[in-house]
Amino acid sequence: MREMKILGKVIALSHDNLDIQTLKFLKDNPRVYACTHGKPNFGEMPDEEQQDFMFDALRKEPSVKNLIPEIKRHGGLMESILVRHDTMEVIEGNSRLAVYRHLQNSGVEGEWDLIPCDIVSSLTENQQAAFLNQIHVKGKTKWSAYEKANFAYVRKERGDSFSNIANLFGESEATIRIRIKAIEMMKNNTDNERPHFSYYDVLVRNREIQKGMEKAGGFEKLLSDIKNLGADENSNTFTAQDLRNKLPVVLKKPKVLRKYVAREVDLDEAYQRAKISDVEENIKQATALLSDVSNDKVSRLESNRFNAFKQATKKLSREVNRIEKMTQAIGDSK
């Protein structure tokens, strides 16, 4: 009889090969939950339909697809899964169970009906959460930030305190609150794409971005932009890092911010405009305007307008000379 310790208590383990059809995927496992929480009315589905949906969702996951050839090559598991006997739920090893079912359904040659299991008679909710935390937050198969956030969110939804969740993670309450707020913001924006989590994490961590965009009337547009981004961050019009580093710069320039909110410029263009000084912007705008003055347009001016144009040109020349002398003098002193 083997054993393990969770929260200071010794938990007995037995070992057996169990029928894969008698085992259940753990709905609250963050890796599983990440696949299901976007399914409308998932919680209202019969248990059997939930299990079928979880299997279909899991076998599409890259982590499961990567496991298939490895398990097939070895002819089975090199490490047992962990099962709660009282519920027949797989606490650890949901991806491996999905691989076994896939191989069985696909008619792959081998023994896929029975899967090696370490079995505990029962666990409390805190023991189960603490075990998952140890394995996936501090252990060898780490959860992504999104999965850790979902883990905290589910615990909070069940009435767990921030302090207890923080204790399970071994992290600060502030960190837990940020993760949960990011998931809540995603849900309020009906965004179920896990690659988008990093954007919401930025918004929650940097309240000045949210306040500034709300004041400018552009926060809802920003949320819409994030929701419509693709799964590959590097191919998107802006990344979470862009959001964190560039948008605060834009927020400091009201004129540029208004153009960004009105979608006259994208985030990168707004950032490029905002990071330059007002005098640089004035010179750039003046240069852009003057580049539109052509020989054809001047030659078509009427006599009275041409004389006015000539006077304006002289005044412009004096201003350019003034700026050139000022620039030269400042340059010599630096």
For the whole prediction, is pTM greater than 0.75? no
Strands 24-25 and 81-84: unpaired
d(CA 136, CA 141): 5
pLDDT per residue rounded down to tens, the chain (334 residues): 688 888 888 889 999 999 999 999 998 887 788 788 778 888 889 999 999 999 999 998 888 999 999 999 889 988 899 999 999 999 989 999 999 999 999 998 888 999 999 999 989 888 888 787 777 655 555 677 888 898 889 889 888 899 988 887 778 899 999 999 999 999 999 998 888 999 999 999 999 999 999 999 999 999 999 999 988 877 888 999 999 999 999 999 999 999 999 999 999 999 988 887 667 777 888 888 888 888 888 888 888 888 888 888 999 899 889 888 878 887 777 6
Say which residue the tokens 């640089």 belong to: 280
Q: Which amino acid is at 23?
A: L
* Inter-residue contact 222 to 270 (CB < 8 Å): no
Secondary structure letter of residue 6 according to DSSP: E
Which of 168, 164, 246 has the alpha carbon at shortest distance from 209? 246
d(CA 201, CA 180): 10
* Inter-residue contact 203 to 185 (CB < 8 Å): yes
d(CA 230, CA 216): 26
Reduced to 3 states, what is the DSSP secondary structure of residue 31?
Answer: helix
Reduced to 3 states, what is the DSSP secondary structure of residue 7?
Answer: coil
d(CA 273, CA 267): 10
d(CA 53, CA 26): 12
Reduced to 3 states, what is the DSSP secondary structure of residue 124?
Answer: coil
